[in-house]
């Protein structure tokens, strides 16, 4: 949730952020009104409690003649306190709902607009000249790397088996990501993939896109779509030590997405599936360090893409295509020959203090005073990378060259039909 001090001091900035996101700026005024009503209700209840306390003390000191009137007054005040506390609770509830309705305030320089309004920051590498390229599914099936038909038989559409060297190739990508992350000071984590509602909500995933999430109703638990969620919850309700710099984790987990609303889109192969593996970088830092950490995560993503030797571009995602938690997001999109376009392989978001404020994650400043931490996340590897590797490294005879960095994990330099 957004910083109330920013809201009160500079509501126009929050309104501008809402407009850039394509969201209703009137929600800002609704929150300001709810904030004022909440503070008024708290003040009214506090004053009445103080008056009731004073009246109760006066009863004990009163003469027999004065006591009946004072008792009646004390009873009246008790009833008024009860009413005021109920009104305060209602005001708090309305305020919380209004506060949760507003996405993170975007950072300066984020492009306004929607999905197609991104800005290309850099293009790296040249798309390969491949005559009549085969797509990743045709290649993967011919090479015995994946089995979509049996995945659908066992679990339904958009499920798959990675088989033989296909499984080794994915594990190789993940292990390369783990090695890269740990060499750069990240602590490896294998987190739970089921989380409580307060953790899922705290990370901002139960808003507009909550229909993307699998929920286990009997247990009131959610399957995560990224290890960002459990890693964000890891230090919830804690004061963490940032005196030695940012705290960095790399989470390796299976991820689950319902892909609601994407029927008929990317149904072929493993571009858009219900289950996949991912290594996710996650950082806790002081707010003033967040932009530098964002560039650091982007640098690690670029290092990984260089290792798998695919052409890619870096884009600055437009405000209307950001999740509610992100104040800025950079995507790295790899070239997909059969589609003749770039598709997202990595994403890194600066969530500033938005998630940590919801999850009550703080640190102590130089004066020992608790402050809200900042959080960031970034993809370091995921199953979808197989698409870019297979299609960009295919050979005319149907074989696929294995990127040199992955050969030690796969055990061969060429995948043969």
- DSSP letters for 180-200: HHHHTTPEEE---SEE-HHHH
Q: How far apart are CA 380 and CA 402, in angstroms?
A: 19
Does 226 count as an annotated binding residue? yes
Does 395 count as an annotated binding residue? no
Q: How far apart are CA 333 and CA 354, in angstroms?
A: 26
Delineate the domains of the chain, giving CATH numbers in brackets.
4-101 (1.10.287.40), 119-415 (3.30.930.10)
CA angle (53 as vertex; 52, 56 as ends), nearest 5? 85
The confidence score (pLDDT) of residue 312 equals: 98
Q: With beta carbons less than 8 A apart as the criterion, state whether 345 and 313 touch.
A: no
Q: Is 67 a catalytic residue?
A: no
The confidence score (pLDDT) of residue 50 equals: 87
Q: How far apart are CA 10 and CA 13, in angstroms?
A: 6
Does 345 count as an annotated binding residue? yes
Does 313 count as an annotated binding residue? no
Q: How far apart are CA 197 and CA 224, in angstroms?
A: 11
Does 203 count as an annotated binding residue? no
pLDDT < 70 positions in the chain: 60, 62, 208, 261-265
Q: What is the pLDDT of residues 10-23, one digit of tens each?
A: 999 999 999 999 99
Does 346 count as an annotated binding residue? yes
Q: Is 230 exposed, middle or buried (0-12, 13-18, 19+ CB in 10 A)?
A: buried
Does 253 count as an annotated binding residue? no
Of the candidates 338, 334, 327, which has an alpha carbon nearest to the alpha carbon of residue 310?
A: 334
Residue from 13, 19, 179, 272 carrying the catalytic annotation: 272
**Radius of gyration of the CA atoms of the chain, in A:** 27
Provide φ and ψ at 351, rounded to 5°.
-95, 10
The confidence score (pLDDT) of residue 309 equals: 97
Does 227 count as an annotated binding residue? yes
Q: Is 344 a catalytic residue?
A: yes
Q: How far apart are CA 226 and CA 229, in angstroms?
A: 6
Q: How far apart are CA 406 and CA 165, in angstroms?
A: 12
Provide φ and ψ at 63, rounded to 5°.
-75, 165
Does 139 count as an annotated binding residue? no
Residue from 87, 198, 238, 344 carrying the catalytic annotation: 344
Does 344 count as an annotated binding residue? yes
Q: How far apart are CA 279 and CA 250, in angstroms?
A: 6
378 contacts: CB under 8 Å, gap ≥ 6 = 280, 281, 297, 298, 300, 301, 346, 347, 348, 349
Q: How far apart are CA 146 and CA 37, in angstroms?
A: 58
181 contacts: CB under 8 Å, gap ≥ 6 = 188, 248, 250, 279, 281, 300, 380
Residue from 94, 257, 358, 362 carrying the catalytic annotation: 257
Query: Strands (DSSP E) along 301-373, which ranges?
Result: 312-316, 328-336, 341-350, 361-364, 370-372
Q: Is 293 a catalytic residue?
A: no
Does 338 count as an annotated binding residue? no
Q: Is 296 a catalytic residue?
A: no
User: What pTM was computed for the model?
Assistant: 0.90
Which pair of structure tokens corresponds to residue 103?
């996405």
Q: How far apart are CA 353 and CA 1, in angstroms?
A: 8
Q: Is 66 a catalytic residue?
A: no
The confidence score (pLDDT) of residue 77 equals: 84
Residue from 347, 349, 358, 362 carrying the catalytic annotation: 347
Which pair of structure tokens corresponds to residue 289?
């360090």
């Amino acid at each position: 949730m957004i910083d109330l001090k920013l809201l009160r001091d500079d509501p126009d900035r929050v309104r501008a952020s809402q407009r850039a996101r394509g969201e209703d700026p009137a929600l800002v005024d609704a929150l300001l009104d709810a904030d004022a009503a909440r503070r008024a209700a708290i003040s009214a209840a506090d004053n009445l409690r103080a008056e009731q306390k004073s009246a109760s003390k006066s009863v004990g000191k009163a003469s027999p003649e004065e006591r009946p009137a004072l008792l009646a007054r004390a009873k009246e005040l008790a009833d008024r306190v009860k009413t005021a506390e109920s009104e305060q609770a209602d005001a708090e509830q309305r305020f919380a709902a209004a506060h949760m309705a507003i996405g993170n305030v975007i950072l300066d320089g984020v492009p306004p607009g929607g999905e197609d309004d991104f800005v290309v920051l850099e293009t790296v590498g040249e798309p390969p000249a491949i005559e009549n390229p085969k797509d990743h599914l045709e290649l993967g099936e011919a090479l015995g790397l994946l089995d979509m038909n049996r995945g659908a038989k066992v679990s339904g559409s958009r499920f798959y088996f990675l088989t033989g060297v296909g499984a080794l190739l994915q594990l190789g990508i993940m292990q390369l990501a783990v090695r890269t992350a740990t060499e750069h000071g990240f602590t490896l984590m294998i987190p739970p993939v089921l989380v409580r509602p307060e953790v899922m909500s705290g990370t901002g995933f139960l808003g507009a896109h909550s229909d993307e999430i699998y929920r286990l109703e009997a247990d009131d638990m959610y399957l995560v779509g990224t290890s960002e969620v459990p890693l964000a919850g890891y230090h919830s309700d804690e004061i963490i030590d940032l005196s030695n710099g940012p705290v960095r984790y790399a989470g390796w987990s299976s991820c689950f997405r319902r892909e609601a609303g994407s029927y008929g889109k990317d149904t072929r192969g493993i571009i858009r599936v219900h289950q996949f593996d991912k290594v996710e970088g996650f950082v806790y830092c002081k707010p003033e360090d967040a932009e530098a950490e964002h560039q650091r995560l982007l640098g690690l993503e670029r290092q990984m893409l260089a290792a798998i030797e695919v052409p890619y571009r870096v884009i600055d995602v437009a405000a209307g295509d950001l999740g509610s938690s992100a104040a800025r997001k950079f995507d790295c999109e790899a070239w997909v020959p059969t589609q003749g376009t770039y598709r997202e392989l990595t994403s890194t978001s600066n969530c500033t203090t938005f998630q940590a404020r919801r999850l009550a994650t703080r640190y102590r400043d130089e004066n020992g005073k608790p402050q809200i931490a900042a959080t960031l996340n970034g993809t370091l590897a995921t199953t979808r990378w197989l698409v870019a590797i297979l299609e960009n490294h295919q050979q005319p005879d149907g074989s696929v060259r294995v990127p040199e960095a992955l050969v030690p994990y796969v055990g061969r330099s060429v995948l043969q039909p």
